[in-house]
Amino acid sequence: MRVGRIPDDGFLLLALTPFRDIGVDRARAELKRGFLSRFAADVIGSEFPKLAEKMHVRTGIFAWHSRVVEMMIDPHPTHTS
């Protein structure tokens, strides 16, 4: 952004966690993706507050067997564009 190689309208923070089985394994993946996105967003927000204003946050879970990525907008309102 600073040197114009990409548009300066924002960047993406994407947290993704995999699961192999439905049920508990998938539920844990959902919890982990939420934790990771909030953790990273908080680090960026506290260390680089101006940059955090341009942050778009998405999270997802990843099914190993099908490689399907279920994307979702992070519910964490502070850092979601």
Give the binding site for another protein (CB under 8 A). Answer: 1-3, 5-18, 32-33, 36-37, 39-40, 43-44, 47-48, 50-51, 54, 56, 58, 62, 64, 66-69, 71
C-alpha torsion sign, points 56, 59, 62, 66: negative
Which uninterrupted H or E stretch holds 44? helix 24-47
Query: Tokens 């309208």 appear where?
Result: 9
Alpha carbons 19 and 67: distance in angstroms, whole number: 10
Query: In terms of CB distance, is 18 or 76 closer to another protein?
Result: 18
Query: In terms of CB distance, is 47 or 77 closer to another protein?
Result: 47
Query: In terms of CB distance, is 40 or 76 closer to another protein?
Result: 40
